[in-house]
Amino acid sequence: MLQGRGIGVVIPARNESKHIGQVLSTIPSFVDHVVVVDDGSEDDTEKIALSTHCSAELSIVKLDGLGVGKAIDSGHQKLLEIFADSKFVSAVMAGDGQMDPDDLEGLVTCVISGKAEYAKGDRSNHSDGLRSMPLIRRLATVLLSFFTTLAAGQTISDSQCGYTATSDEVLRSWDWEKSWSGYGYPNFWIIQLAKHGWKIAHHPVRAIYGDEISGINNISFFIKVGIMMTIEHHARNLFWLFSFKVTPHTIFAFISYFIGWIAIIPGISTDLERELVQRGVSVFIIVFFAWFCAHIFDRRAVVVKQQLRNINSISKADNAARRDFNA
């Protein structure tokens, strides 16, 4: 427990017999419960986890190779059962030892303090930076963070860091049936959090790399995650557009996105766009300007959505306090 709040840790693991013992033995003492999700391991991951001394209570959840996203979701849901109606924070740490346990307290404190409902590690803002990260991963992280920033309508500097902390309020409201099961899970969560107005905080964490082997196929990963982010980004905009609390920023963002799309689809460009092209203005410039404006409006819409959620939360708390007082 930390500052009166329960602390749980989810550790997705698949064939992590070399690392899981070290991960569990270094769990900080303020952690109340650890859930190791063994996602179809073919080695001694479960056996070593059960035999390792851990300062927290330990649970094992067994899955049959359903993917890292599903493993993390299952761990969160297990903690919801364990903590029941209690207030808690659920953190995610990798089973391969890539996450420094010394960074955990700062990460969960971002949530406990009310700074945000979701905090994610940011390796780029740590004093060590990304120097220890392999070059290919570094380039991929920068590129994916840029596209996640566009899709989420807010600056995301290290989208692929899976070291996170989530409030129980977010977990209790999450639609587990529509969650993302594989790699690209952090990107999906960030977009969904933005969609529902949850605040996201970034906390510097140290990147640790050893002899672990990534199971990601780079080309397949970029295609799948890129398509997912494009779909979820536009779905978020449409969700807001047709909600009862639509804001002018969302409307302007949608119009700007629409102008950009019709500029690149043959046969449906507007008269203004055709006139600009005839005058020598590149279609690329038109699309870039339209989508740049859309992103600016979208960023403002995200801020307004967060403010509306905050106002709604305060109103609910005040009403609950009045009911308790009158009772």
What pLDDT, in 10s, does the model give residues 2-14? Answer: 999 999 999 999 9
Residue 181 belongs to domain with CATH number: 3.90.550.10
Residue 117 inside a domain? The answer is yes
Which pLDDT belongs to residue 327? Answer: 58
> Residue 324: its pLDDT value, please?
56
Q: Beta 6-13 vs 33-39: how paired, if at all?
A: parallel
pLDDT of 325: 53
Is 233 part of a structural domain of the chain?
no
The size of the chain, in residues, is: 327
Owning domain of residue 308: 243-326
Higher pLDDT, 93 or 141: 93
**Model confidence pTM above 0.85:** yes
Could you tell me if 273 and 130 lie in one domain? no
- Average pLDDT rounded to a whole number, residues 184-201: 94
Which residues 6+ apart lie within 8 Å of 194 measured at CB?
Answer: 152, 153, 154, 200, 236, 302, 305
Residue 165's pLDDT is 98
Nearest to 197 by CA among 239, 252, 248: 239
Residue 299 resides in a domain: yes
User: Per mean pLDDT, which of 104-118, 173-187, 240-254, 301-315 is the most reliable?
Assistant: 104-118
Residue 234 resides in a domain:
no
Instruction: Give the end of a domain, one of 190, 225, 260.
Output: 225
Task: Say if 122 falls within a structural domain.
Answer: yes
